């Protein structure tokens, strides 16, 4: 279980803007064990999706190191990278935009197989597509349909089937359920969990929905303004959050009970601009337990307990 499939060190992505460098992802480290699900949470604009795309090199990182199965992804040439893409796939948030409206379901699922010329025999290809459709729970009769003829849940299933086509090791799930109805969300989440069990997949699950993340993840990483502020096993993180931001985040999750008197931590102020942020704790201006030391230097992610990392000076002490 502890074999690391993905290791990321000092990953950075700065976007040049007119006002300066936008630190979308700033020096983050994390790892994902083989067969587990790492949930990546944070508010919108904190760099979660960028992180996912960086992992696939859909966006070129500014700096840092990504190792998948011990191979350095960053050093791969274009040809090698194309071959390596088989191992990492992505499922997008919006199933309406992620399928070409001119491709039928068959053509969409077949596309990755055709790109990599997996099958030469059209019969085998057809068999494989049917097989994939069955795996993701799509009725065979929709095979000739176009995306606009399907509902959101089915489209997302097509997206998942595409991602599975090449037997990947790692799937980046970029908010795969946030565009769907709640009832369909549950179906898709269960499907994802079953697939993981059957195929031993590893997931990076990006979401802003804490309940969903709690449900599906083995470990959770919390992002704030381009940095990972806390990373721990799900149970540990939800029971014993150390970073003030995580605490505030968790206190905002609605609980369907009225007998518990919950203390909601309300943060003041807005998320500061990610353009050229000062070298101090990113959370400094909104933190409710800051001290003088916090403003002086950037905080590093430190392992305070086994498998519990936190980037807060107070908590580290």
Q: Which residues bind another protein (CB under 8 A)?
A: 53, 56, 58, 82-83, 85-86, 88-90, 92, 94, 97-104, 106, 111-112, 115-116, 126, 129-130, 140-141, 143-144, 146, 148, 159, 162, 165-166
Q: Residue 137 or residue 272: which is nearer to another protein going by CB?
A: 137
The whole-angstrom separation of Cα 9 and Cα 30 is 7
CB atoms within 10 A of CB 292: 6
CB atoms within 10 A of CB 20: 13
Distances (CA, A) of 200 to 56, 156, 203: 19, 20, 10
Q: Residue 105 or residue 249: which is nearer to another protein going by CB?
A: 105
Q: Residue 141 or residue 257: which is nearer to another protein going by CB?
A: 141
Residue 64 phi/psi, 5-degree rounding, is 110, -175
Q: Residue 83 or residue 303: which is nearer to another protein going by CB?
A: 83
The whole-angstrom separation of Cα 85 and Cα 72 is 13
Q: Residue 53 or residue 282: which is nearer to another protein going by CB?
A: 53
Residue 134 beta carbon to another protein: minimum distance, rounded to whole angstroms: 12
- Residue whose C-alpha is closest to residue 230's, from 260, 257, 211, 210: 210
Q: At what angle do helices 105-115 and 152-164 cross, to 10 degrees?
A: 20
Residue 139 beta carbon to another protein: minimum distance, rounded to whole angstroms: 8
Q: Residue 117 or residue 264: which is nearer to another protein going by CB?
A: 117
Structure tokens at 292: 């003088």
Going by DSSP bridges, is the β-strand pair 4-17/20-33 parallel, antiparallel, or unpaired? antiparallel
What is the side-by-side strand order in the sheet with 71-72?
20-33, 4-17, 63-68, 71-72
Residue 296 beta carbon to another protein: minimum distance, rounded to whole angstroms: 40
Residue 101 beta carbon to another protein: minimum distance, rounded to whole angstroms: 5
Residue 98 beta carbon to another protein: minimum distance, rounded to whole angstroms: 4
Residue 245 beta carbon to another protein: minimum distance, rounded to whole angstroms: 30
Q: What is the dihedral of CA 197, 38, 48, 291, to 10 degrees?
A: 160
Q: Residue 143 or residue 265: which is nearer to another protein going by CB?
A: 143
Residue 171 beta carbon to another protein: minimum distance, rounded to whole angstroms: 10
Q: Residue 72 or residue 80: which is nearer to another protein going by CB?
A: 80
Residue 97 beta carbon to another protein: minimum distance, rounded to whole angstroms: 4
Q: Residue 109 or residue 213: which is nearer to another protein going by CB?
A: 109
CB atoms within 10 A of CB 198: 9
Distances (CA, A) of 288 to 262, 308, 315: 18, 22, 13
Q: 3-state DSSP call for residue 227?
A: strand
Residue 95 beta carbon to another protein: minimum distance, rounded to whole angstroms: 9
Structure tokens at 208: 């802003």
């Amino acid at each position: 279980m502890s074999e690391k499939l993905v290791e990321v060190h000092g990953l950075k992505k700065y976007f040049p803007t007119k006002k300066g460098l936008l630190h979308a992802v700033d020096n983050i480290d994390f790892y994902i064990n083989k067969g587990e699900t790492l949930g990546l949470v944070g508010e919108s604009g904190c760099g979660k999706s960028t992180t996912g795309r960086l992992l696939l090199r859909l966006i070129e990182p500014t700096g840092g190191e990504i190792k998948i199965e011990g191979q350095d992804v960053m050093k791969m040439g274009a040809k090698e990278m194309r071959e390596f893409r088989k191992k990492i796939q992505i499922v997008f948030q919006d199933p309406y935009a992620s399928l070409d409206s001119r491709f039928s379901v068959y053509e969409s699922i077949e596309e990755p197989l055709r790109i990599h010329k997996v099958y030469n025999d059209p019969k085998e290809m057809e068999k494989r597509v049917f097989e994939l459709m069955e795996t993701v729970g799509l009725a065979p009769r929709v095979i000739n349909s176009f995306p606009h003829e399907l509902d959101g849940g089915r489209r997302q299933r097509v997206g998942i089937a595409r991602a599975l086509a090449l037997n990947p090791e790692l799937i980046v799930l970029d908010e795969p359920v946030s565009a769907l109805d709640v009832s369909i969300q549950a179906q898709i989440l269960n499907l994802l969990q079953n697939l993981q069990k059957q195929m031993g997949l590893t997931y990076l699950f990006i979401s802003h929905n804490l309940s969903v993340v709690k449900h599906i993840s083995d470990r959770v990483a919390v992002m704030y303004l381009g940095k990972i502020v806390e990373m721990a096993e799900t149970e540990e993180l939800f029971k014993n959050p150390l970073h003030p931001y995580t605490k505030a985040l968790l206190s905002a999750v609605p609980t369907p009970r009225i007998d518990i008197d919950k203390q909601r931590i309300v943060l003041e102020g807005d998320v500061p601009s990610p353009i050229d942020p000062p070298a101090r704790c990113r959370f400094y201006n909104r933190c409710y337990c800051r001290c003088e030391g916090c403003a002086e230097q950037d905080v590093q992610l430190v392992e305070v307990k086994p498998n519990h990392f936190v980037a807060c000076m107070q908590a580290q002490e």
